[in-house]
Amino acid sequence: MTEEEIRRAYIEELTEVAPDISPDEIGNEAHIQDDLDLDSMDILNFVTALHERLGIDIPEPDYPRIATLGKAIRYLGQRLA
């Protein structure tokens, strides 16, 4: 999976869980809790959605590694490699 595909999956699933966020708000450094106002239930739903879409199980201790798009591209890229 290319970086671009991971980026698209991340943005699409995030805006599905939180449709108040517009895709252009999701910069590489935007933090899903601190900047985009996701709560803990949103994060669980987001992780579940990423799991379904990408087939990767993201364990709780790794949640901080998907907290921004930039971090997630690195983390998911490694996991998918």
Selected from 7, 9, 30, 42, the binder of another protein by CB under 8 A is: 42
Of 18 and 73, CB closest to another protein: 18
User: Pattern of binders to another protein over 20-39, x per CB under 8 A?
Assistant: xx-----------xx--xxx
Please state, in angstroms and rounded to a whole number, the distance separating the CA atoms of residues 58 and 27: 22
Going from the C-alpha of 69 to that of each of 14, 37, 81, the distances in angstroms are: 10, 15, 18
Question: Which tokens belong to 8?
Answer: 């698209």
Of 2 and 24, CB closest to another protein: 24
Helix H segments across 1-81? 3-17, 40-54, 69-80
Question: Which tokens belong to 66?
Answer: 């998907």
Selected from 4, 59, 78, 81, the binder of another protein by CB under 8 A is: 59
Residues that bind another protein (CB under 8 A): 15-16, 18-21, 33-34, 37-42, 44-45, 59-61, 63-64
